[in-house]
Amino acid sequence: MADKDKLDGIVCATVTPVDADFRIDVARLARHCRQMLDDGCSHVSLFGTTGEGTSFGSAEKIAALEALAEAGIAPERMIPAIMNTALADAADMLAATERLGCRAALVLPPFYYPEPGDAGIESFLAALVARSGAERIDLLLYNIPQLARISYTPALVRRLLGRFGERIVGIKDSTGVLANGLGLAGEFPELAVFTGHDGVLPELRSAGGAGMIGGMPNLFAADAVAILAAPDAEATAGRRQDSVRRIEAVDGTGGLAALKALLARRYDDPAWARTMPPLTPLPAAETDAVLAALAQTGYVPGEAA
């Protein structure tokens, strides 16, 4: 829509810091969101997979979004995720996302019951929109079948576009499979197609993709922004190679827990290493091993990359 900024760029899927009682630490989260935007991210996406979104209740996530807005994080730069299987909770999140003026909502399909079918997913989204009363907020589809066990297939996307039309403005493809992202970008040029994986970013961008919504920008936002701006340029070849090596180091040693441990080192703040149960913090020795691997790519803790 004309009054909204374009949905593209590097969107940091932010981790969620928590206090000793496992409550969302809004002060730390606000500082981190501000840092990500300062590092060049177009938006921040809250409470998705990297943000441990399924581990928090809707009420506390909504309260955190309100507090972030009060702390000066512009709602139009926020893309909260809807990660709820309960319709009432999902509707509360969507209603709050619209009420606060957030840029869009990233919608995960209901993931508990296996194989609900395309009709079931359509009925969930229809009930979600109706129950929430949200009439304006843009919707991004969140495709991460390795965790949700449900895929936003091209056939399902076409069906949802037929039902909801321009309310659906894009899709985040977190399969990490290049052919999948390229296929979506080619078949749905009207949608903003994002990857969730740094390794797919250059090729997807060159094929008309919108960019990335992912976790690695929590540490390497500037590199991702540079790659997005020049996905095929020789000048970014080294950054592209380093990006792949960094993914391998982080995902191969703890994934989300590793990101949090590395942020604890970057900010010199051990509280950042806390994870929500059932996830456990990364042991110090494993954190050191990840740092040693990242050092081979020129990464220095405490410096944005």
In the chain the first and final C-alpha atoms are separated, in Å, by: 33
SS3 156: helix
pLDDT at 154: 96
Burial of 2 (0-12, 13-18, 19+ CB in 10 A): exposed
Residue type, 279: L
pLDDT at 2: 43
Q: Could you tell me which of 178, 99, 183 has the C-alpha nearest to residue 135?
A: 99
Check the CA dihedral 141-143-147-149 and report its sign.
positive
Q: How far is CA 197 from the centre of its chain?
A: 10
Plot region of 98 (φ>0 → left; ψ -120 to 50 → alpha; else → beta): alpha
Catalytic residues: 142, 172
pLDDT at 239: 84
Contact between residue 259 and residue 215 where contact means Cβ atoms under 8 Å apart = yes
CA-to-CA distance for 60 and 62, rounded, in angstroms?
5
pLDDT at 1: 40
50 is in an annotated binding site: yes
Domain ranges in the chain are 9-234
Other CB atoms within a 10 A radius of the CB of residue 297 amount to 18
CA-to-CA distance for 266 and 204, rounded, in angstroms?
30
CA-to-CA distance for 194 and 197, rounded, in angstroms?
9
pLDDT at 252: 86
Q: What CATH architecture applies to the domain 9-234?
A: Alpha-Beta Barrel (3.20)
CA-to-CA distance for 291 and 249, rounded, in angstroms?
9
168 is in an annotated binding site: no
Contact between residue 15 and residue 263 where contact means Cβ atoms under 8 Å apart = yes
Residue type, 221: A
- Find out whether the peptide bond into 278 is cis, omega within 30 degrees of 0: yes
CA-to-CA distance for 225 and 9, rounded, in angstroms?
7
pLDDT at 3: 59
Residue identified by tokens 């060159």 is 206
Task: Enumerate residue ranges in the chain where pLDDT < 70.
Answer: 1-3, 302-305
